Chain A
C-alpha cells in the first residue's frame, strides 16, 4: 500500500498549497498564530505523514514509523491549547487536509475504481485517527493547565500576615473546602508557633458564601488554634453572611466575631494590653502619626 505514500510525496507541494488555502477560513487565526508559523507546521506535518505512509503500516498512526508525526501533532495541539484555540479549530487543522488529499487521489487514480476507493478509505481513516490524537492531546493539555492553576490558587490564596507583635491576620479569599482548610490551618498554626502570636484574626471578607460546611471548617481551625494557646477572632462578616449564619442555625457563640478587620484588630490590641493614641499637636485625621502605647 505504498501507493498512497507515492501519491502524497509526488504531489506534496500541490497538496500543501491546497491545504493552506482550505485552512485559511477555518483554522487561521491571525490574532493567535502567524501565517509563517502555520506554513512551517503544515510542511513539517506533511513530511512526517509521508514518512509514516511510506512505512509498513500506512493506516495505523500508533505504529513506530509514525512517532515523528505523533510528536509533531502533540506539540502543535498542546501549543494551540495554551494559545487559546477552540477544540474544533485545533481539529480542523488536520481535518482540512482531507479535501486536498482526496482531490489528488481522485486525479491520480481515476483509472481504477477499486484502487480509488481503497486509497480514499485508507486516507480518510488515517486522517480521522490523526485528528483524534490532536483532540486527545488538546484535552490533556487543557486539564494540565486547570490542575496547575488549582494548585497555584491553593498555595497563593492563603497568606498569613503579621499585623503587630503577637497579632496575625489571615485573609481568606474564595470558598473554603476541605483541602483548602487543611492548607490554611497548617499555615496559620505554623505561623502562630513561629511568631509566638497570641491572637489570630481570620478575615472572611473574600469568602462569597458561608454554609454549614465552611463554618465547620472555620470552627476546626479556631479550635486547633485555641488548643495551641492562640485566640482567634473572625472578621469581615458581611450582613448577608450574618443572616445566612443565623438562618442555618450555625453556632458561633464561642467565637468572637467582628464586622470589620479594623474592629478585630482594635480588640486584639486591647486584649493584649495596648491602646492607640494620637500624638498631641499632630494634625487630626493623620493616621500615620498615631502611635501605640503599652498600658502600664
Chain B
C-alpha cells in the first residue's frame, strides 16, 4: 500500500508530502506519525507541503490532528512551505490551524524546531551549531 515516507533526523521527524493527498493516505499518515513519535521518542515533527497544490477541509483537519496528536506525545509540529493558493483556500474554509506552527521553508522550520528544543532542554542548544 502507498505510504508517505517518514524520515528520522536526529530528534525530529521529517515528512515531505509530494503526491496528491487522498483521504486514505492522510489517515495512514496520521497513524504512522503517532507510531514513529512513540517508537523513536521524537521531539519535533516537520511537515513540508511545498509540493501540495490542492487542499480540502479533510487535509486541513489532518494537519491540525497531527499537530494535536504530536503535542499529546510531547513533540512540536511545524508545517513549512505552504503555497499561497493553499493558504487562501484554508482561510476561506475557515481553518486557521491555530495549534500549528508554520515556517517559510524547511531551513527556517528546522531553526524553529532547534530553537524550541533549546528552550526546553537547554543543553541541546549546542545542536543548532552543528
- A contacts, CB < 8 Å to B: 185-186, 189-190, 192-193, 196-198, 220, 223-230
Query: Is A196 within 8 A of B84, CB to CB?
Result: no
Chain B 43-56: CB-based contact to A (< 8 A → 1; otherwise 0): 00000000000000
Complex: A223 Cα to B91 Cα, angstroms: 7
Q: Which residues of A contact B96 (CB under 8 A)?
A: 223, 226-227
Judged by a CB distance under 8 angstroms, whether B80 is at the interface is yes
Once the chains bind, are A198 and B108 in contact (CB under 8 Å)? yes
Interface positions of B from 73 to 105, Cβ below 8 Å from A:
79-84, 86-88, 90-92, 96-97, 102-105
Nearest residue in A to B63 (C-beta to C-beta)? A227
Contacts of B91 in A (CB 8 A): 220, 223-224, 227
CA separation between A189 and B79, bound complex, in Å?
16
Count residues on chain B whose CB falls below 8 Å from chain A CBs: 20
CA–CA, A193 to B87, complex, Å?
Answer: 12
- Complex: chain A residue closest to B90, CB-CB: A227
Chain B residues within 8 Å of A186, by CB: 84, 88
- Tell me the nearest residue of chain A to B97, going by C-beta: A227
A230 touches B104 (CB 8 A): yes
Given B80, B86, B102, B108, which contacts A226 in the complex, CB threshold below 8 Å?
Answer: B102
Q: Closest approach, in angstroms, between the C-beta of B63 and any C-beta of chain A?
A: 10
Distance to closest chain A CB from B85 (angstroms): 8
New A-B contacts (19) at CB < 8 Å, excluding given A192-B84, A229-B109? A186-B84, A189-B88, A193-B84, A196-B105, A223-B96, A224-B84, A224-B90, A224-B91, A226-B96, A226-B102, A227-B86, A227-B97, A227-B102, A228-B82, A228-B84, A228-B102, A229-B81, A229-B108, A230-B104
Asked if A224 and B105 sit within 8 Å, CB to CB, the answer is no
Closest residue of A by beta carbon distance from B100: A227
Check if B102 sits within 8 Å of A192, measured CB to CB.
Answer: no
Is B87 within 8 A of A189, CB to CB? yes
The reply to whether B84 and A229 contact each other, CB–CB distance below 8 Å, is no
Q: Are A228 and B104 in contact (CB under 8 A)?
A: yes
Please name all residues of chain B whose beta carbon is closer than 8 Å to the beta carbon of A197 when the two chains form the complex.
104
Cα distance A190–B87 when bound, in Å? 11
- Residues A224 and B104 in contact, CB atoms below 8 Å apart: no
List residues of chain B with CB within 8 A of the CB of A230.
104
28 CB contacts below 8 A, A to B, read: A185-B88, A186-B84, A189-B87, A189-B88, A190-B84, A192-B84, A193-B83, A193-B84, A196-B104, A220-B91, A220-B92, A224-B90, A225-B87, A227-B79, A227-B90, A227-B91, A227-B102, A228-B82, A228-B83, A228-B84, A228-B104, A229-B79, A229-B80, A229-B81, A229-B103, A229-B104, A229-B109, A230-B104
Q: With the chains together, A197 CA to B108 CA distance in Å? A: 11
Shortest beta-carbon distance from B40 to chain A in Å:
25
In the complex with contacts A189-B87, A220-B91, A227-B82 CB distance below 8 A: yes
Q: How far is the CA of A190 from the CA of B82 in the complex (A)?
A: 11
Set of chain A residues within 8 Å of B105, measured between Cβ atoms: 196, 229
